[in-house]
Amino acid sequence: MSELSIKELERRMRPGEFSQAGFLGWGESLVEVLEQDARTLDDLGVPREEIADALEALLSAAVSKNMTTTQRKKYRVHIHIYPGFQICPFAIDPDHEQCTASGGVRFGSVDWEIENRRTGQRMKGPGLISHLIRAHGFFEGVESPYRIDPADMIKLLELAKI
């Protein structure tokens, strides 16, 4: 199988499949979620790669220090590293390998909380989200407890161009 159908992707993303909580809620449409988030990024003038770059820089610094809480510039980053890793639901052959799109998954075993110390804004999420954003333009479904709202993330990272 070289390309996954939307139906298969949505099945994988429902609660209890690739994630206990799910990447999408029971009634959500993957296509609609992707389209809405793409519109948000267009409206704010921030490409998804810029968000992924900024998030990955913070996570890389935190993971490399081998500490649960680190400071990087105006950000406080708290991470929790789990044994094993979360499989990307877009992986072509998830029983044998992780998704390799856009360089693959780097933080599939990490959960994070980031505080912008200048603004006081905080967000938390899964490390896999940086890959989902970069490779697939996916911030998780609105009904997912792990969703990262793109506008909030842009605000946290102070990336807005307009």
**Can you read off the two tokens belonging to residue 2?**
């070289």
pLDDT at 2 over 60: no
Q: What is the pLDDT of residue 161?
A: 67
For residues 108-124, give the mean pLDDT: 96
Encode pLDDT of 46-87 as tens digits.
999 999 999 999 999 999 887 788 888 899 999 999 998 899
- The model's pTM is 0.93
Encode pLDDT of 146-161 as tens digits.
999 999 999 999 998 6
- Cβ(117)–Cβ(76) below 8 Å: yes
Task: Tally helices (H) and strands (E) across the chain.
Answer: 5, 4
Helix (H) or strand (E) holding 65: helix 48-65
Encode pLDDT of 5-37 as tens digits.
999 999 999 999 999 999 999 999 999 999 999
pLDDT at 106 over 80: yes
Task: Report the phi/psi class of residue 152: left, alpha or beta, with left for phi > 0 and alpha for psi in -120 to 50.
Answer: alpha
DSSP 8-state secondary structure symbol assigned to residue 15: B
For residues 121-139, give the mean pLDDT: 97
DSSP 8-state secondary structure symbol assigned to residue 19: B
Q: What is the pLDDT of residue 1?
A: 39
What Rg, from alpha-carbon coordinates, does the chain have? 15
For residues 139-152, give the mean pLDDT: 97
Domain assignments of the chain as residue spans, ordered by start: 6-156
- Provide CB contacts within 8 A for 76, sequence distance 6+: 69, 70, 114, 115, 117
Of 90, 94, 92, 88, the C-alpha closest to 108 is 88
